[in-house]
């Protein structure tokens, strides 16, 4: 089965704190009629620090979409290669071992995709398949994992590299002063992540089942307005209540797999905001500690869009407390309103030969024609 290996994460060097964010809101929007509400909403996010691509003075300027997209391209080409190298090291693979690259991002646009540049510059094979995903927003991290899983099911033994590149700070729009926009200015951060799904072997999360769920008639709840100045983030006030609609989808997928979603060993959940995590805890009858990895990501890095699930997952790996067969769920939420959900179990590294050995031993152990002690198979 396909195994999702340890992710690698990189964040830009510039940091903005909660205190700085609040002071900027007070300074830039001193005459806003709902400033008090905006400040309370930002404080309630619990986001203590965020990393951004440029110094805050430059982030607050808007030089035009052309220059912003050029910053997206230069930033991605600077930060993505080292995170890929680290993810490949974790998976104990080389670029030529990769059969598909899934690249997810919603904060800039390149054509051809960055995948073409990566194949040309990092030693990937020229027949490496490319799947760029640009319009699933925060749900794209979960979607990338699921499409990698699907590919490994279709092509047993294949290896997939996932890359998430999100520079949310490049979407800052100084003229957008709606409550949702001002809240997003204090919530989103920048990050780059990469992870490998190995078709055989590897230590990590053995992917077992995946699914998607779209909530009808919510397409305008999270959206981009694409204008001359670039991407304008649109956030409906009903978004925080979406877990009422999405929690049943998590429970249903787990039940189809004969699991109880309220009784799993680990949870990697998109940290869109504290309300999402709190509501999901309540709806799934879980203690707040169940989402400790997602909460840490939100507190230290903010909502980093499609990279959230990989940052939270990296914390799970760093924790080092998982045992073989521990069961868990990965879920990303985003525009649509869409949920991308994966179920999997923790597994230590096994080679293809190990897998065959286990299967043969199981077969021999159950063979009633054998006498004496269980036989042991030797696979050359």
Q: Is 168 a catalytic residue?
A: no
Cα–Cα dist 5/317, whole Å: 9
To 10 degrees, what angle do helices 35-44 and 18-28 make?
Answer: 170
Alpha-carbon separation of residue 7 from 106, 139, 192, 196, 318 (angstroms) = 20, 17, 10, 7, 10
Backbone angles phi, psi at 356, to 5 degrees: -65, -35
CA 141, 198, 196, 103 torsion-angle sign: negative
Nearest-CA neighbor of 236 among 167, 337, 304, 135?
337
- Rounded to 5 degrees, φ, ψ at 108 are -170, 170
Please work out, in degrees rounded to the nearest 5, the angle formed at the alpha carbon of residue 180 by the alpha carbons of 176 and 181.
30
Lookup: tokens for 210:
């995946």
Burial pattern 218-250, b for ≥16 Cβ within 10 A else e, equals beebbbbeeeeebbbbbbeeebbebbeebbebb
302 Cα distance to chain centroid: 13
The Cα 274–Cα 235 span in angstroms is 16
Which residue out of 106, 138, 165, 281 is catalytically annotated?
138
CB-based burial, 4-34: b 16+ in 10 Å, e otherwise: bbbbbbbbbebebebeebeebbeeebeebee
Catalytic residues: 138
């Amino acid at each position: 089965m396909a195994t999702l290996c340890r992710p690698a994460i990189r964040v830009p060097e510039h940091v903005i704190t909660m205190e700085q964010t609040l002071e900027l809101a007070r300074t830039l929007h001193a005459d806003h009629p709902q400033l008090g509400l905006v400040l309370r909403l930002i404080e309630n996010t619990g986001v203590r620090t965020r990393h951004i691509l440029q110094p805050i003075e430059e982030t607050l300027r808007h030089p035009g979409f052309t220059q912003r997209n050029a910053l997206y391209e230069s930033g991605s080409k600077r930060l993505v290669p080292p995170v890929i190298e680290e993810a490949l090291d974790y998976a104990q693979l080389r670029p030529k071992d990769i059969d598909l690259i899934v690249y997810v991002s919603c904060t800039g646009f390149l054509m051809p995709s960055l995948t073409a540049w990566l194949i040309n510059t990092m030693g990937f094979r020229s027949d490496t398949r490319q799947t760029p995903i640009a319009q699933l927003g925060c749900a794209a991290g979960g979607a990338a994992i699921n499409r990698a899983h699907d590919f490994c099911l279709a092509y047993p033994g294949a290896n997939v590299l996932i890359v998430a590149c999100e520079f949310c700070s490049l979407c800052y729009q100084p003229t957008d002063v709606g409550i949702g926009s001002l809240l997003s200015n204090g919530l989103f951060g920048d990050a780059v992540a990469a992870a490998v799904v190995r078709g055989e072997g590897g230590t990590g999360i053995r992917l077992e089942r995946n699914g998607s769920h779209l909530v009808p008639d919510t397409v305008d709840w999270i959206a981009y307005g694409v204008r001359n100045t670039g991407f304008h983030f649109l956030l409906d006030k009903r978004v925080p209540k979406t877990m009422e609609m999405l929690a049943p989808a998590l429970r249903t997928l787990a039940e189809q797999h004969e699991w109880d979603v309220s009784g799993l060993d680990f949870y990697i959940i998109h940290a869109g905001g504290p309300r999402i995590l709190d509501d999901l805890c309540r709806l799934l009858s879980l203690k707040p500690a169940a989402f400790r990895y997602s909460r840490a990501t939100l507190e230290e890095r903010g909502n980093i869009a499609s990279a959230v699930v990989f940052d939270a997952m990296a914390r799970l790996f760093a924790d080092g407390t998982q045992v073989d067969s521990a069961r868990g769920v990965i879920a990303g939420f985003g525009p649509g309103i869409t949920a991308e959900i994966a179920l999997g179990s923790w597994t230590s590294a096994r080679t293809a030969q190990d897998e065959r050995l286990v299967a043969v031993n199981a077969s021999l152990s159950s063979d009633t024609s054998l006498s004496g002690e269980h036989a042991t198979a030797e696979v050359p």
